[in-house]
Each structure stands twice: as structure tokens, then as C-alpha cells.
Amino acid sequence: AQTVTQSQPEMSVQEAETVTLSCTYDTSESDYYLFWYKQPPSRQMILVIRQEAYKQQNATENRFSVNFQKAAKSFSLKISDSQLGDAAMYFCAYRSGETSGSRLTFGEGTQLTVNP
């Protein structure tokens, strides 16, 4: 079974600065996808960014980028120019790419605080 680990229960960053959230995973599959979801106080689960395992290029979405190290099974999220609205719980998630309708397996989450 696949596992996802987020070793930082809490992180904080000053507004306008950069922060990196860590995530590691364990799998024996070759086809898979990795995601970061954000859950603000509203509890809505919002997709932040997606990475395909077969792609060597790291995904970017505006101020959000990932550092995907496939051999090390590491998938960190970098948030640049942090904004107050970035404060939320961030979940790293894994999904198998080998079957239809397969589940997301989440890490424990990292609570990000943005200080003004």
C-alpha cells in the first residue's frame, strides 16, 4: 500500500517571503500522480498543484511550485511571495495512475501560518 508522510505538522512564514512544505511517499508503482491540496478554515479542499510521475519537469502554478525528486520519493511545495490568504492546512496526496477511479491517499497535513 502507498503511504504519504508530511513531517512538518506546523510551519510559519512572514508575508511576502518563501516557504517550503515537505512530503515523502512510498510506492512500488511506476505510474502515479502527486498533488497538493489546500484546506483553509472554510474546510473546502482546493487543488493547488499536480505532478505527473513521468514528467521530469517540476510543476508550477503562479506562486506555487514543486520540487519532485522521483528517486528519493520526495515532493515538496514551495510558496513564493506568501500572502495572508495562503494560511491553511496543506495536504500532500498520492494517486495511482494505473487504474480508473483510484483513491487519493493523503499525508497528515501541514498547518501553514502566514504572519503579517
Partner 1 sequence: AAGVIQSPRHLIKEKRETATLKCYPIPRHDTVYWYQQGPGQDPQFLISFYEKMQSDKGSIPDRFSAQQFSDYHSELNMSSLELGDSALYFCASSAQERDWLAGSRAVEDTQYFGPGTRLTVL
Closer of 15 and 98 to partner 1 (Cβ): 98
Backbone angles phi, psi at 102, to 5 degrees: -80, 155
Grid cell of 27 as nine digits: 510506492
Closer of 16 and 47 to partner 1 (Cβ): 47
Does residue number 97 form part of the binding site for partner 1 (CB under 8 A)?
yes
Q: Write down the least CB distance from residue 16 to partner 1, Å.
A: 29
Backbone angles phi, psi at 86, to 5 degrees: -80, -10
| Distance set, CA 32 to CA 53, 65, 106 (Å) | 6, 18, 14
Q: For partner 1, what does the binding mask look like between residues 57 and 86, x meaning CB under 8 A?
A: ------------------------------
